A and B are shown apart, each in its own frame.
With several copies, the nearest count.
Chain A
Amino acid sequence: MAQLSYRDAVSAGIAQEMLRDKRVVLLGEDSAAAGGVFKTTVGLFEQFGPTRVRDTPISELAILGAAMGAAMTGLRPIAEIMFSDFLACCWDYVANEIAKTRYMSDGQLEVPLVIRTANGAGSRFGAQHSQSVENWAMAIPGLKVVAPSNAADAKGLLAAAIRDPDPVIFFEHKSLLGNKCEVPDGEYVLPLGQAAVLREGGDATIIALAAMVPRALKAAETLAAEHGISATVIDLRCLVPLDTKTILAHSARTGRVFTVEENPRLCGWGAEVVSIIQEEAFSSLKGPIVRITTPHIPLPSADQLEDAVIPSVARIIADVRKALGK
């Protein structure tokens, strides 16, 4: 086991799969020779060469369209959309083409590809480069949606995404890229659709994703240490497939549930999770499920404004305490 950063774990996961499977190819803007704007593909161009690791023009439609056509005809492309905000520039491919092709063709065609993209706030890039759009992807039938919160998961889930026969949108969180943790050295693959229970407690269940996971954990520690509240923290890891078993079991056990979402409030993933929990664990709930989200606003650029609107450790603590009356 080595300490790897999230960013290096991404390239390690890709390299692992490219070594294993010649069908795996990679394309994106500045992804090849330059190693990616976020340095998440460093070394791949040198290792696998220009036929497998390709720079593209600024053509998001062509990037996803080409990846789709290649996936339909035997390759396993990994397409990089530099910032997740730019998924809006090729949303037709995500929502209408890639996600629906297996269905529309009655299973004649499959589109086994991965769309990797840098998601989330924290870099003070402003409203068009900081969004969390995992809920956009969750809303589209036919997609799998993955958003790891740490380096080990990044490697293992990315490998799984590449092997998966369905299209996967893989959200790499910009503010986590420098975070390091122990990452297994050899072949490492995690299953898609399994949430991780990072901490168990009896008073509350906090459900989080990606960059909200370390915040939820930190909040849970403080809640335990300073406020006598013991909380379970669940890292969803995948929005589709959704590990409702884990969610429901821990929600029912504590009866008090909180979602911590970076996406703007309306129709966030937490809304879906809430609707499932209240429908299927209604009688176990001791109080309303509380959603802690970025407000329904575009993101400001200035650092103190950005910090103020994204759910913080302090806000999680405050909202849990308020709900539990402690």
Chain B
Amino acid sequence: MSTTRIPEATRLALYRQMMEIRYCEKRAYDLFLQNLVKGTSHLALGQEAVAAGFGVAMNKDDYTFCTYRGHHHTLARGASMLSVLGELMGRQCGLMKGKGGSMHLTSVEHGVMGSYAIVGAHLPVAAGAAWSAQYRGTKQVATAFFGDGATNIGAFHEALNLACVWKLPVVFVCENNGYMEYTPIGSVTAVEHPAADRAASYGLPRILIDGNDADVVYQTACDAFDKARAGGGPSLIECLTYRHSGHSRADPGKYRPKGEVEEWMKKDPVVSYRVRLLEAGVAEVTLDEIDAAAMATLDEATEQAKASPLPEIASAYTDVFADGGAAWRN
């Protein structure tokens, strides 16, 4: 695929986005180690190109639906590092003031319509948001990100079928990182490519891409969004990628065959993109400045999050119902 038609400014945006995610995820990990993040957390280290490629390609009013592994997509839509790290730390400055936690990041002002911790559950929800956009005639597109493991759950099948029958402006993005938690996806899936090999079941073309190549992801995203906005209906895109760390905080990732991580490290999406930009003539200092700016923002966010107060206990009893409270009786 020729990627030269992507403007340099866009490519720098892709790079910046990936760097911000990379730094922020690493920081999240450090904060665990300091016991400042109490619950679980699922890092997207290694999967930055998917988030950046789609995030940069989206319109501001498009909808993103994430899984519990959703920090990268939330950041890619413009949610601040402070609001993300704050949520992981259960602070008042967090996106949901500690009520949702790492697995439920939501930032409606940035189009992040929630992170869903039940595998596959958000695919029909994204289809519904797309239905709403179609009905309202807004040209918005909804994108649902999910893992390889999610392709084996019923909701995947139902969402794909409904979206195709109704020709909804929704893009289903499978981040195939090779594992469902600790089990290799190949050992529990009847086809080699859990998403791409099933596209035909819904009358969709087969799309299988290098999910570690931000240019490829970006271009594929643009094409899918164009199609959706033009009334062409859904797309199903399988992105081949890899998570550098364990499944979640608790997981050292011992089930991986020797050398696998090392192989994938060679295809690190951030490092390789940096090399590509340099080769394309971007000045090193430009990239260094991006890195430094990301780190500065991150450091400031970290300090602010640490200084942020804990939410008041009373907040646990709010927002069950629309009246703001939790009263189920008179």
Interface residues of A (CB under 8 A from B): 25, 29-30, 33-34, 37, 51, 54-62, 64-75, 77, 85-86, 88-89, 92-93, 96-97, 101-110, 112, 123-129, 141-142, 144, 164-166, 193, 240-245, 266, 276, 295-298, 300-305, 308-309
Give chain B residues whose Cβ lies under 8 Å from the Cβ of A141. 320, 326, 328
Q: Please tell me if the beta carbons of B319 and A103 are within 8 angstroms of each other in the complex.
A: yes
> Is the interface on chain B under 10, 10 to 19, 20 to 34, or 35 or more residues?
35 or more
Q: Please tell me if the beta carbons of A105 and B106 are within 8 angstroms of each other in the complex.
A: yes
Interface of chain B residues 111 through 131 with chain A (CB within 8 A): 113-114, 116-131
Q: Residue of B at shortest CB range from A38?
A: B250
CA distance A81 to B14 in the complex (A): 39
With contacts A103-B320, A110-B322 taken as known, whether A61 is within 8 angstroms of B158 at the C-beta atoms is yes
Q: Sorted from nearest, which 4 A-B pairs have the closest CB atoms?
A: A65-B124, A69-B128, A301-B101, A302-B98
CA distance A109 to B125 in the complex (A): 13
With contacts A29-B183, A72-B113, A302-B38 taken as known, whether A57 is within 8 angstroms of B127 at the C-beta atoms is no
Q: Is B165 an interface residue (CB 8 A)?
A: yes
Give chain A residues whose Cβ lies under 8 Å from the Cβ of B317. 295, 297
CA distance A94 to B121 in the complex (A): 11
Q: Which of A34, A67, A110, A302 is close to B128, meaning CB atoms less than 8 Å apart? A: A67
Give chain A residues whose Cβ lies under 8 Å from the Cβ of B255. 33-34
CA distance A24 to B133 in the complex (A): 14
Q: Residue of A at shortest CB range from B310?
A: A304
Q: Please tell me if the beta carbons of A126 and B104 are within 8 angstroms of each other in the complex.
A: yes
CA distance A109 to B63 in the complex (A): 13
Q: Is B150 an interface residue (CB 8 A)?
A: yes
With contacts A105-B100, A241-B330 taken as known, whether A89 is within 8 angstroms of B322 at the C-beta atoms is no
Q: Residue of A at shortest CB range from B182?
A: A34
**Binary interface encoding of chain B residues 208-230 relative to chain A, with 1 for a CB under 8 A from any of its CBs, else 0:** 00000000000000000000000
Q: Residue of A at shortest CB range from B125?
A: A69
Q: Please tell me if the beta carbons of B103 and A128 are within 8 angstroms of each other in the complex.
A: yes
CA distance A305 to B326 in the complex (A): 15
Give chain B residues whose Cβ lies under 8 Å from the Cβ of A305. 90, 98-99, 311, 313, 315-316
Min CB gap B117→A, angstroms: 4
Q: Is B34 an interface residue (CB 8 A)?
A: no
Q: Is B203 an interface residue (CB 8 A)?
A: no
Min CB gap A293→B, angstroms: 12
Give chain A residues whose Cβ lies under 8 Å from the Cβ of B98. 300-302, 305
Q: Please tell me if the beta carbons of A107 and B123 are within 8 angstroms of each other in the complex.
A: no
Interface residues of B (CB under 8 A from A): 38-40, 63, 65, 90-91, 94-104, 106-108, 113-114, 116-133, 135-136, 142, 149-150, 152-155, 158-159, 161-162, 165-166, 180-183, 187-189, 250, 255, 310-311, 313, 315-322, 324, 326-330
Listed by A's residue number, 22 A-B pairs whose Cβ atoms lie within 8 Å are: A33-B183, A34-B255, A58-B120, A58-B149, A61-B159, A66-B127, A66-B131, A70-B132, A96-B118, A96-B121, A105-B108, A106-B96, A107-B318, A110-B322, A123-B39, A124-B90, A125-B103, A126-B102, A128-B116, A301-B99, A302-B90, A305-B90
Min CB gap A76→B, angstroms: 10
Q: Please tell me if the beta carbons of A107 and B324 are within 8 angstroms of each other in the complex.
A: yes
A69-B142, A304-B311 known, 18 other contacts, Cβ within 8 Å: A25-B135, A33-B183, A55-B187, A57-B180, A60-B153, A61-B124, A69-B128, A70-B131, A72-B125, A86-B118, A104-B100, A105-B104, A106-B96, A125-B40, A125-B103, A128-B118, A241-B330, A297-B317
Q: Please tell me if the beta carbons of B329 and A241 are within 8 angstroms of each other in the complex.
A: yes
Q: Which of B90, B126, B150 is close to A69, meaning CB atoms less than 8 Å apart? A: B126
Give chain A residues whose Cβ lies under 8 Å from the Cβ of B329. 241-244, 276
Give chain B residues whose Cβ lies under 8 Å from the Cβ of A93. 121, 124
Give chain A residues whose Cβ lies under 8 Å from the Cβ of B119. 58
Give chain A residues whose Cβ lies under 8 Å from the Cβ of B101. 124-126, 300-302
With contacts A57-B189, A73-B113, A128-B118 taken as known, whether A62 is within 8 angstroms of B124 at the C-beta atoms is yes
